Amino acid sequence: MKKYVFVTGGVCSSLGKGVAAASLGNLLGSRGCRIAMVKIDPYLNVDAGTMSPYQHGEVYVTEDGAETDLDLGNYARFTNSELSRNNSITTGQIYQEVIKREREGRYLGRTVQVIPHITDEIKRRIILAGNDPAVKVVIIEVGGTVGDIESIPFLEAARQFINDVGRENTLFIHLTLIPEVAGKELKTKPTQHSVKELLEIGIQPDVLICRSPVKINKEMIKKIALFTNVKEDSIISAYDVNTTIYEIPLIFHSQGLDTIVIDKMKMDCRNPDLSGWKRMVETYNNSTETVTIGIVGKYINLNDSYKSVYESIFHGGIANKVKIKLVKIDAEDIENSSDISSFFKDIDGILIPGGFGQRGIKGMIQTASFARTNRIPCFGICLGMQIMVIEYARNVLNYPDADSTEFKPGTSAPVISLLEEQINVSNYGGTMRLGKSESVINKGTKLYDIYKSSSIFERHRHRYEVSNLYRDELAEEGLIISALTPDKSLVESVEWPDHPWGVGVQFHPEFQSTPINPHPLFSSFIKASKDYGKR
């Protein structure tokens, strides 16, 4: 019988449910258990595609083109779980499907209600996500906080799983906060109240993961157990780590989280093999050299806006046995500065990530120009590649008005423009080029040397492309077109000539990078930055 583990959160948001769920998936995977990861988001948006990064962090794109919550990125980096649109569930999707069925008369005239129709659709999607017969355990992270009105239907559906599949096949993990007050005293009262709210819904947590600045002691664990009816050995301390989040599965394993889950659900699993994961963490912890990477973007003020990019840079650091220092630079600050060199004084490499809209574009173009002329390693991703093309057209082709029609519709030199079939699209939800597609790399390019292959598959998320009207002219003036779509209709990558490492890609390689298998583009970029720093 398939097992279902629900991970809920209490007290406040952003405690790390995603990392906790992914860490459990990591541990169960190390024991040979095939898992499926599911993220439930209680918002009414159908997906995360049209949400501002300041609202919800980055949008993680699956191979089949789903625009999902950033926690799916954690699942991909921590586990081997296959991810698709089935692994992301939102309130918007649930209600959209139920209303569609009601309009089609599928409910045969019955009154459509939250219970059973909404909860049945939630359960159907959870079961669908783990439908693969090889999957033994489905781990479901319920977004939001217990007590939020938006989460109630999902928690009710989770409660119903107890009767649907049996108590021995259902397990509840609750993540709560143990805050530190004046005098560095830790308080358990918020955790007690959070569990009480969960009990009122009809769910008794089997495991508590207690988030706190420092490791909680046995006396505190005993007190929490007394007030929550959770066994002492099922209370896990999730304390702050000063190294890397990739150490968290090892911390949980040292406290027996995977053993607790296996025992409670009566699962037959092999002993864990965490040797590779331990080596990776040790490599990071033992690195002595530091490479400083400047990120020039437009959503810098929220760390989660470029979550996968930041993590992939760290993966590149692990591959090169160096620690990474990230310097986050707001593109608008560069625009307002009279001396942009001051931003890059101690920078070993520059990365310009993706984004949408006109704000900060001038600063990014100035950054690309500075990196190209000063021969600083520069990596442009999606919008970043388009910025590299615009800068090259302005300063090498001498088109001072060169721009993207996204930023300047009336430009006389639209080197970046919309796909022809999307020019008249007014509904922006789900209209982009999304998901995995093939790129063909030209031999003799830096990209070919990095991938060591002429055919690659990467994920896309964009509307605008390099204009074919200017492609030949850009190439004649030296810009290297290093990759195209198989039909040669669209540019997938460009490289600066006579430059140590200036590469732009239209796709998002960060979605395929993991700490165990760093993406070759990030590994190569960090190596080039390391070499530049030494020079």
Judge contact between 275 and 289, C-beta under 8 A: no
Annotation marks residue 382 as catalytic: yes
Pairing state between β 207-212 and 323-330: unpaired
Q: Of 455, 451, 509, 508, nearest to 485 (Cα)?
A: 455
Rounded CA separation 36/99 (Å):
28
What Å distances lie between residue 444 and 112, 427, 447, 495, CA to CA? 62, 41, 8, 12
Q: How many CB atoms lie within 10 A of CB 114?
A: 13
Using an 8 Å Cβ cutoff, are 293 and 349 in contact? yes
Pick from 346, 234, 252, 244: nearest CA to 293: 346
Q: What tokens appear for 529 in the block? A: 């930055």
CA 20 to chain centre: 15
- Beta bridge mates, 441: 483
Active-site hit among 33, 210, 378, 382: 382
**Is-catalytic flag, 508?**
yes
**What phi and psi values does residue 472 have, to the nearest 5 degrees?**
-65, -40
Q: What is the DSSP letter of 58?
A: P
What's the token pair of residue 299? 């959503």
Give the pairing of strands 88-90 and 235-239: unpaired
Helix (H, G, I), strand (E, B) or coil at 362: helix
Q: Report which secondary-structure segment, H or E, holds 300.
A: none
Determine the Cα–Cα distance for residues 119 and 160; give it in Å rounded to an integer.
Answer: 9
Looking at the DSSP assignment, which residues form a beta bridge with residue 502? 378
Report whether 147 contacts 113 (CB < 8 A): no
DSSP for 67-80 reads: EE-THHHHHHHH--
Which tokens belong to 192? 């007690």
Active site residue 499: no
Are 399 and 458 contacting, i.e. CB atoms less than 8 angstroms apart?
no
The 3-state DSSP class for residue 35 equals strand
Buried b (16+ CB within 10 A) or exposed e, 283-312: bbeebeeebbbbbbbbbbeeebbbbbbbbb
Residue 123 neighbours by CB distance under 10 Å: 19
Beta strand 378-381 with 349-352 is parallel
Query: Pick from 408, 404, 428, 417: which is nearest to 465 by CA?
Result: 417
Phi, psi of 380 (to 5 degrees): -105, 125
Contact 10, 203 (CB under 8 A): no
Beta strand residue intervals within 19-169, DSSP E: 35-41, 60-61, 67-68, 88-90, 137-142
The residues carrying an active-site annotation are 382, 508, 510
